[in-house]
């Protein structure tokens, strides 16, 4: 009886660690992590007005996908969504479908900046694989302090006055009806 329990415990431990290894170290594990992130993603919310911080773009160098330097003065008076991400990041991958849906509906009203420091070819393969048309930018230097994060995804929504009104440091449902209402209020 004791030997049977011992074998069962050993088998369950092997199964547990096998599943853990698959989740942590294989592409299937990445898919599981993406799915879990999508499952728990919440709608982002506006910060309290007293917590708003003004963005100062001084010295920040960002290039668009054609290699043109971004002129941040062009963003004055516009609502801007800045998302720092990477192709290897499961939470970043998890929120991309909701961003694509939001982008499809708001691309003419909101400036979207999906910023990465990855190789352009790798990003293009990723965008093509998932049929994304999100505008990708490449950071060259000097992220503004108020937009700096040690983790990704990191997303900031900036109002027409240049204030950061949303800061989100994990996957979110950017296409939720709640966030759309808040975004519409920023566009008025």
Residues contacting 187, CB < 8 A, separation 6+: 79, 109, 110
Q: What is the pLDDT of residues 112-145, one digit of tens each?
A: 999 999 999 999 999 999 999 999 999 998 899 9
Residues 94 and 34 sit within 8 Å (Cβ to Cβ) = yes
pLDDT of residue 41: 62
Q: Identify the structural domains of the chain with CATH numbers, from first to last.
A: 2-37 (no CATH), 43-187 (3.40.30.10)
Q: Model-level pTM greater than 0.75?
A: yes
**DSSP H or E segment with residue 9:** helix 2-25
pLDDT of residue 7: 75
Residues contacting 78, CB < 8 A, separation 6+: 110, 111, 160
User: Is residue 35 scored above 70 in pLDDT?
Assistant: no
pLDDT of residue 64: 96
Residues 8 and 143 sit within 8 Å (Cβ to Cβ) = no
167: pLDDT confidence band, cut at 50, 70 and 90? very high
């Amino acid at each position: 009886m004791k030997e049977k329990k011992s074998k069962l415990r050993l088998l369950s431990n092997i199964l547990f660690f096998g599943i853990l290894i698959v989740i942590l170290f294989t592409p299937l594990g990445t898919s599981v992590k993406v799915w879990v992130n999508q499952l728990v993603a919440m709608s982002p919310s506006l910060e309290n007005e007293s917590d708003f911080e003004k963005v100062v773009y001084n010295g920040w160098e960002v290039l668009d996908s054609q290699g043109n330097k971004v002129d941040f003065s062009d963003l004055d008076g516009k609502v801007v969504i800045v998302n720092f991400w990477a192709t290897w990041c499961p939470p970043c991958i998890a929120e991309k479908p909701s961003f694509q849906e939001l982008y499809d509906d708001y691309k003419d009203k909101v400036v979207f900046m999906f910023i990465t420091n990855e190789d352009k070819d790798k990003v293009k393969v990723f965008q093509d694989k998932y049929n994304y048309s999100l505008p990708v930018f490449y950071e060259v230097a000097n992220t503004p302090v108020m937009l700096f994060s040690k983790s990704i995804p990191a997303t900031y929504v900036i109002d027409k006055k240049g204030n950061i009104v949303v800061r989100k440091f994990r996957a979110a449902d950017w296409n939720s009806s709640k966030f759309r209402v808040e975004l519409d209020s920023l566009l008025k």
